[in-house]
Structure 1
């Protein structure tokens, strides 16, 4: 269920059925309940993964020792429900950040009366995309923690959208506060990485009633469950270079996305640095780094009730999401 993980352990948030959630250390398909590890927690502190991230250097050293000790009292992973690994205060999301995806979308959305050949349109889009990578800046927006759900949870497709889509993304988890950091120093502020599927209601993104205002990311991205996250947080030191990972998403067993993170226009370090120019990134915050080509809109095949997605990123495990109908409009506003 978990997929192949980099390194000797990972962290997550778990529960026994519908019981209270607890932070856990996963090693060899066994989960240590960290609530009982009193040395990890400060007085009157509620144990959580975010609390560990608040003092990440100390926590990481202690967790490394615990993983090696293989003490008793661990739960088999298969017995536990897996929740989003961390509860963030802030979620930052990158748009238009994979070269091939940006070129693909630019050509797909060109006006019907464009006199250029497809080859010329592709060449122009590639030149403009490369210019932006060299001279421009990332495109970031913010998401809501209420959209998060577990990596194996079902997701209800809201009745109000006819165009729900998938977007597999590498997600960086902040471990040290970051404010006005340089790209050279940015990755020192990352505690670890996880998987995000940044689901999108395509028909809600662009408002036809207020064209001059722009994109409606709140409506298009933040329905309940629209950000399956996890299953686990893998420490950055186990993952290595975040530009050397492979993202693969299967819809009902068919590969729809399969690309490397080296295809980003702005790498993880530049995204963190850019976000930190405006606001302070805090321990536990998430930064989603954008999605490669192969979204449903490019295939002409969007999500429908009964669909199942498996999504994985090198060393970070695997998600499995089943999509359900919202016949009664239970998630509609």
Structure 2
């Protein structure tokens, strides 16, 4: 099942975006979506029944001018967006995820997890944490790990909370969508490899982040982050040219109408270019891949309120639109 987006949500910035849609009981197809909520089936426009959003990204340099022309044309063949179901905008082969990448969030964690016997005032410990963040931004490297494409779901689909997940939490994130192969690219080259941006909510079960049976092996991202549907994605891929300042976008997540996360990507320790460049030093990034850039302060653990059956999450990022997902307990699904 799915829930509709809030009626007041702006679609996106720029003249068009890419989506993956389907008519009732029909196959999913790549679509050009315009700000006035009209849809063009790109299989028809490109004369290719096998076309997907990912295959468009694989030929992004040649596809982009055609998409711009189609968006400006306003010709026949368009239908109302309301006639279609919206899916995750792309099926990536690889999902690169980042942790501890928002300055205030990490400072909060540093202060909250004080060492035994550390009785210094909070102000002093925050100042210490701020210096650590400054040093990290100047000298250290991003923290990147891998997620599974099978965890991705649509931007309005229900999210099933597994019965074993004791502490399911939200993490709204800006995601960069790769538009050309990238391997060992520099920071200066990195944004040239980004086709566009979308919204991701990187759900995490806090209770399984660390292995209880073998705490010495550290984090268990497979268990805590990769249940089916734990990464609501989209609704759109907005071309990079329409997002002038990806490092100055507002992220907002509301839980049942109450704001939980509200921060700018300016607070990121490592910006999009550094994140993409770093991931490419080891891996070969492929068209359609996602680079998630971390989540700001305001997660459920901060509020002492985790996700439960019936909760509705509304996530939005400046220029990228909004997603709305409802939580459904596994036993009730």
TM superposition score category, shorter chain reference: over 0.9
The 2-side partners of 1:280 and 1:316 are apart by: 26
Instruction: Identify which of 38, 58, 61 aligns with 1:30.
Output: 38
* Aligned position for 1:20: 27
1:70 to 2:77 alignment? no
* Aligned position for 1:86: 90
Aligned ranges 1:86-105 → 2 under 5 Å: 86-105=90-109
Structure 2 gap ranges (5+): none
The 2-side partners of 1:88 and 1:146 are apart by: 9
Q: CA deviation at 1:114?
A: 2.9
Q: CA deviation at 1:46?
A: 2.1
Instruction: Identify which of 136, 139, 149 aligns with 1:145.
Output: 149
Structure 1 gap ranges (5+): none
Q: CA deviation at 1:17?
A: 2.3
* Aligned position for 1:8: 15
Does the 8 A contact of 2:11 with 2:37 survive in 1? no
1:304 to 2:308 alignment? yes
Root-mean-square deviation over aligned CA pairs: 1.4
* Aligned position for 2:54: 50
* Aligned position for 1:263: 267
TM-score normalised per structure 2: 0.95
Q: How many residues align?
A: 325
1:244 to 2:252 alignment? no
> 1:163-209: per-residue Cα shift (whole Å, max 9, x none)?
10000000000001111111111000000000000111000101121
TM-score normalised per structure 1: 0.95
1:192 to 2:199 alignment? no
Q: CA deviation at 1:112?
A: 4.8
